Amino acid sequence: MQSIVSSHHLCLPPPVLNHSLICHRVPSIRLPSHRSTSTTSLRLFNCAASRESEIMAPAGKEDGQDPRIPKIASSIRVIPDFPKPGIMFQDITTLLLDTEAFRDTIDIFVERYKGKDISVVAGVEARGFIFGPPIALAIGAKFVPMRKPKKLPGEVISVEYSLEYGTDTMEMHVGAVEPGERAIVIDDLIATGGTLAAAIRLLERVGVEIVECACVIELPELKGREKLGEAPLFILVTSDAA
């Protein structure tokens, strides 16, 4: 079940905590975990949305189980107490080191959004800049960076928002998008939902339609999807470690 290409083969330290995997939406099939000392779990979650999405699952994936997801889930490392005590940090850099898991992650999003008349992929700084551009190129959309304050050189619109560990401001270039365009918003992770909600607010303020938000990981305990209003959320993996 688990891939041979693991963090061990890449000479990385092993994940600090392991991820036991549970298929979502079907009677809980527990997949084997690769270590036995887990205090957290990542669960598979290959379906949209607290709210109805116009996007249908790709052919053959209607049951919500994508065979590529266990490897993606197991490639994500969890670091306790980073960046401060009490935070279980979901580290996607180990996913990026695993070429198959990284490619599969991008492919799953591309398969979902290709041909859906989406002209904008909005990526949230910083980790949305990793997943957003390859998706944008593959579906023929432009990539629009949603940046931290004072990084964009042109005229910006901005919005303040709250995080699991602090507050921040998000900015977007004026003129990057046009009213009526259809967008997806990409980030690595949804926690409290403040970040995605801010991106939605910025885009909707200029008349862009949010087709869906997409993340690799959701921390469901933090109920972030409740902050997204009408925007559906598509995620690959959930983690109990918030």
Ligand X SMILES: O=P(O)(O)OC[C@H]1O[C@H](OP(=O)(O)OP(=O)(O)O)[C@H](O)[C@@H]1O
Task: Tell me the C-alpha distance between 221 and 41, whole Å.
Answer: 13
Residue 53 φ then ψ, to 5°: -105, 145
Q: Which does 87 bind (CB under 5 to 8 A by kind): ligand ADE, ligand X, none?
A: ligand ADE
Residue 190, interface with ligand X (CB under 6 A)?
yes
Binding residue for ligand ADE (CB under 6 A) from 49, 87, 110, 152?
A: 87
Closest approach, Cβ 8 to ligand X, in A, equals 26
Closer residue to ligand ADE in complex, CB, 211/236: 236
127 is annotated as an active-site residue:
yes
Q: How far is the CB of 189 from ligand ADE (least distance, A)?
A: 5
Q: Is 50 helix (H, G, I), strand (E, B) or coil?
A: coil
- 226: exposed, middle or buried (C-beta count within 10 Å: 0-12, 13-18, 19+)? exposed
| 164 annotated active-site | yes
Angstrom distance (rounded) from CA 39 to CA 48: 27
Centre a 10 Å sphere on the Cβ of residue 68 and count the other Cβ atoms it contains: 17
Told to check if 187 binds ligand X by CB under 6 A, we report: yes
- Dihedral, CA of residue 200, residue 54, residue 65 and residue 49, to nearest 10: 40
In angstroms and rounded to an integer, the radius of gyration of the C-alpha atoms of the chain is: 17
Q: Does 189 bind ligand ADE (CB under 6 A)?
A: yes
Exactly one of 88, 185, 203, 213 binds ligand ADE (CB under 6 A); that residue is 88
**24 and 64 Cβ atoms separated by less than 8 Å:** yes
Pairing type for strands 156-163 and 166-173 reads: antiparallel
Q: Which of 189, 199, 231, 236 binds ligand X (CB under 6 A)?
A: 189
User: Which of ligand ADE, ligand X, none lies near 90, with the C-beta cut-off 5 to 8 A by kind?
Assistant: ligand ADE
Q: How far apart are alpha carbons 83 and 127 in whole angstroms? A: 15
The answer to whether the beta carbons of residues 38 and 50 sit under 8 Å apart is: no
**Active-site option among 164, 201, 204, 209:** 164
When CB distances are held under 5 to 8 angstroms depending on the partner's kind, the choice from ligand ADE, ligand X, none that residue 88 binds is ligand ADE
Q: Among 127, 171, 212, 218, which one carries the catalytic annotation?
A: 127
Binding residues for ligand X, rule: CB under 6 A, are 124-127, 163-164, 187-195, 224
Binding residues for ligand ADE, rule: CB under 6 A, are 87-90, 164, 189, 191, 219
